Structure 1
Amino acid sequence: MKHQNVFLLLGNKPCYSLLGSVLLVCFLFMTSFVYAQEQKRITVEFENESLAEVLKKLEKLSSYKILFTYDQVQKYSVTASLKNVSILEALKKVLEGKPFVYSDITDDKYISVKYQKLDEKIVDVKTISGYVVDSKYEPLPGVTVIIKGTTVGVATNSEGKFELSVP
């Protein structure tokens, strides 16, 4: 008995379209998996827990490394109920009313929480959000958006979106 190579045939031609379809489905599956990781939502409650412990828990619940100085956060506590929020929304809530700011996600894996002395004259914090797109209105991920004359800034996410809290 002769050994023959086995090919999927459509008529007398190999079925390349089937192979292309299989590769396309694999690519779409991988893309949706990566997108699902970025969209991970957090649901958790904190009852009078130290800010340091809260940041550590948020780090474990997300796919990001949260960088902070323990000595700066140790004297603050958090009571909050978070339901189906992103990591940045969670940080906004747990840092509310405290003298800390957080950066947007850097290198798709780091978020830093930094001490920032609150100015007594500043009573209102505004949130600015938007999208950065190219001339064809395609989103531009990883673009740095900075408030002119300050060091306050964020980078756009994979969809070109940014959110920035400013006094």
Structure 2
Amino acid sequence: MTSLQNELPEWIDTHCHVTYEDIPGGAEAALVAAREVGVKKMITIGTDAKTSRAAIDLAAQHKDVWATVGLHPHDAKHGLDGLHALITQPRVVAIGECGLDYFYDHSDRAVQREIFAAQIALAHEHDLALVIHTRDAWDETFEILDSCGVPARTIFHCFTGSPVEAKSVWIVMRFSHFQES
């Protein structure tokens, strides 16, 4: 280990896609590169059944990697088939990446809302964190979270709101958790 590596802070990457097939050198090279710059723990994200399975398989091989299981809003039209069996696998720590994306509209908005609500329910049912992707869908995202309940551990990965909306995320998340305690 070099002296520079000894001085690096310890990082935890809570949202990486190291199982993507187009990464030069593949997942193993991505993990090595992350470790070399001080990343000590990583959560690799599932965005459909295939990438969720790949995330779980990778996490099973590396003690510093965990996985999520989820359906990205772009793929909501494909439904949750295949995800339920993956949720209880070892090293799965969250549901997601899920949410609403009205910028691209790759899936019908009503379907996105239905799939997002279903994934929130899964996070509650399995006591897992929730990883949210919300893009140009601020009001609907919070309507669904309000209706379904905000899981105790929730991360906003993609957020395109204003500073005022960001502050309200903090307020809603903070006070929703005080009420649960």
Please, what TM-score do these two structures have when normalized by structure 1? 0.28
- Please tell me whether Structure 1 or Structure 2 has the larger radius of gyration of its CA atoms: 1
When you count helix as a share of all residues, which structure comes out higher? 2
